[in-house]
């Protein structure tokens, strides 16, 4: 099958437009990859139980958000009130929504108060 220059140009332009229109979700400041805090099993659990790119979920003051690379990131409240977080809970939520994330209902690692199994 031969492709003309015009056809090739059209295909390239369509692909380029498709890539440029894709939304890229990046974890905002103050979030840490779940695997670094709770271990790789917790990260896999998030992805296998409703965590999808562009979604975030909250529970007991914790926030988990999944970026475009399917990496879940966690915002954890500080247990010591004398050392407040650099990014507050409210600001973290605003940053997620500003970046185009949508709230959903899925597991938030570490939010139950019990240590997760690594």
Instruction: Give, for all 118 residues of the chain, the pLDDT tens digit.
Output: 788 988 888 888 777 776 555 567 888 788 989 999 888 999 999 999 999 999 999 999 999 999 988 999 999 887 666 777 788 899 999 999 999 999 999 989 988 854 444 4
Token readout for 35 is 């695997």
Give Cα separations from 21 to 10, 11, 17, 26 (angstroms). 16, 15, 6, 16
Nearest residue to 112 via CA among 32, 27, 45: 45
pTM over 0.75: no
Angle at 114 between CA 58 and CA 104, to 5 degrees: 15
Given a contact cutoff of 8 angstroms between Cβ atoms, the answer to whether 40 and 88 are in contact is: no
């Amino acid at each position: 099958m031969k492709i003309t220059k015009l056809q090739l140009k059209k295909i390239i332009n369509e692909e380029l437009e498709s890539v440029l229109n894709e939304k890229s979700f990046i974890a905002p400041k103050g979030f840490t990859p779940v695997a670094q805090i709770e271990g790789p099993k917790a990260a896999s659990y998030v992805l296998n139980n409703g965590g999808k790119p562009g979604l975030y979920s909250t529970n007991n003051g914790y926030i988990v958000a999944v970026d475009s690379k399917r990496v879940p990131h966690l915002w954890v409240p500080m247990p010591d009130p004398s050392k407040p977080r650099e990014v507050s809970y409210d600001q973290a939520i605003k940053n997620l929504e500003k970046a185009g994330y949508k709230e959903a209902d899925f597991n938030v690692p570490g939010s139950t108060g019990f240590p997760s199994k690594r």
